[in-house]
Amino acid sequence: MKSNHITAAIVQHGPEYFNKEKSLDKAVELAKGANAKGANYIVFGETWLSGYPAWLDHCPDVALWNNDSVKQVFAKMYANGVTVPGPELEVLCKLAKELKSGICIGINEVVRSGSKNGTIYNSLVLINEKGQLVNHHRKLMPTFTEKMVYGLGDGHGLKSAEIHGAQIGGLICWEHWMPLTRQAMHNSGEQIHAAVWPNVHELLQVASRSYAFEGRCFVLAAGQIMKASEIPSELELPAKYNDDSSKLVLTGGSSIIGPNGQYIVEPIFDKEDILIAELDLSDIVKEKMALDVTGHYQREDVFELKVNTDRK
């Protein structure tokens, strides 16, 4: 690896929906494949392990209060959730150490003890190249229909961590529209940022590129693929998918963006793929000449940001 360079990859594949064992096996193979192509930092999308609940926005059953089918799906989602710490993360930490590669992956995190037993969090975990869990972030505010299945997160994970000499962090989906959340992450000294989404459509491309430009950092905007056939069988399939269950519900859109807000790898839609790019960290300093929202373009004598980093 060149000094001051990171070779980063986005895995734009879907998991084995609601099957954490097979999803974990798939994640291992995909990470090995990305690493074989030279990647030493690998990103998977939002709640990749094991499946983003896209059915919340598509299935008519969800709108019915006290619907037993939806409760069954929630129970299945919980059963296939990941604990932190837990056996699934042990596998991923061992893998990261073996590959000498950082891994960032979204998970459906579950709590199976204490007062929060039964809660699911939309979480993002970051593992360094030594196989150590260096950050565990719970999404601050579930977005719209997500409030039906996810608990509220906290500020404990609003930080970056060192991987291969670079400061790396991440946020989940609509957290990228929260100005103070963005500034908290910029203040952490991020150089590479994982923006994990279920689907990186046009407006989310705007958010990802804006984050890169504002934070003067590289952004890996990670989407994923989901077929209509993967919508849980307990739920009624939306009418638009009745004629062809191979149609895509989540279409990817992953991209890699430089600290000037321009694409290094343009968005890829409608297919499973692995995006790879070599990132030259010295490009960050060049862009900070014009804008540095944590340095010369910040007025700390006017503004003060305090972040509660306690784990809830």
Burial of 89 (0-12, 13-18, 19+ CB in 10 A): buried
Rounded distance between C-alpha atoms, residue 217 and residue 211, angstroms: 8
Rounded distance between C-alpha atoms, residue 164 and residue 235, angstroms: 44
**Whether the predicted pLDDT of 31 surpasses 70:** yes
Residue 227's contacts (CB-CB under 8 Å, 6 or more residues apart) are: 14, 245, 246, 247, 248, 249
- For range 177-201, the mean pLDDT: 97
Strands 218-222 and 166-172: unpaired
Listed by start position, the domains of the chain span 5-287
How many other C-beta atoms can be found within 10 angstroms of the C-beta atom of residue 155?
Answer: 18
Predicted pLDDT of residue 65: 67
Q: What is the pLDDT of residues 262-279, one digit of tens each?
A: 999 999 999 999 999 999
For residue 275, the SS3 value is strand
Predicted pLDDT of residue 63: 67
Rounded distance between C-alpha atoms, residue 179 and residue 149, angstroms: 25
Virtual torsion, Cα 57, 60, 63, 68, nearest 10 deg:
-110
pLDDT band at 15 (very low <50, low <70, confident <90, very high): very high
- For range 159-183, the mean pLDDT: 98
- Find out whether 168 and 132 touch, Cβ atoms under 8 Å: no
Predicted pLDDT of residue 245: 80
Beta bridge partners of 125: 105, 136
Predicted pLDDT of residue 28: 98
pLDDT above 90 coverage of the chain, percent:
88
For residue 289, the SS3 value is coil
Predicted pLDDT of residue 32: 98
Predicted pLDDT of residue 239: 81
Global confidence as pTM: 0.95
How many other C-beta atoms can be found within 10 angstroms of the C-beta atom of residue 275?
Answer: 24
Mean pLDDT of the chain: 95
- Find out whether 108 and 47 touch, Cβ atoms under 8 Å: yes
Q: What is the pLDDT of residues 87-110, one digit of tens each?
A: 999 999 999 999 999 999 999 999
Predicted pLDDT of residue 179: 98
Residue 74, token pair as written in the block? 């929630």
Predicted pLDDT of residue 238: 81
- For range 59-77, the mean pLDDT: 84
φ and ψ at residue 162, rounded to 5 degrees: -85, 130
Radius of gyration over alpha carbons of the chain, in Å?
A: 19
Q: Which residue is listed with tokens 């990228």?
A: 176
Q: Output the CATH code of domain 5-287.
A: 3.60.110.10
To 5 degrees, how large is the angle CA 294–CA 183–CA 125?
Answer: 115
pLDDT band at 1 (very low <50, low <70, confident <90, very high): low
Rounded distance between C-alpha atoms, residue 58 and residue 46, angstroms: 18
Active site residues: 46, 139, 173
Predicted pLDDT of residue 59: 84
**Whether the predicted pLDDT of 204 surpasses 80:** yes
To 5 degrees, how large is the angle CA 248–CA 104–CA 31?
Answer: 70
Predicted pLDDT of residue 237: 83
Q: What is the pLDDT of residues 111-168, one digit of tens each?
A: 988 877 889 999 999 999 999 999 999 999 999 999 999 999 999 999 999 999 999 9
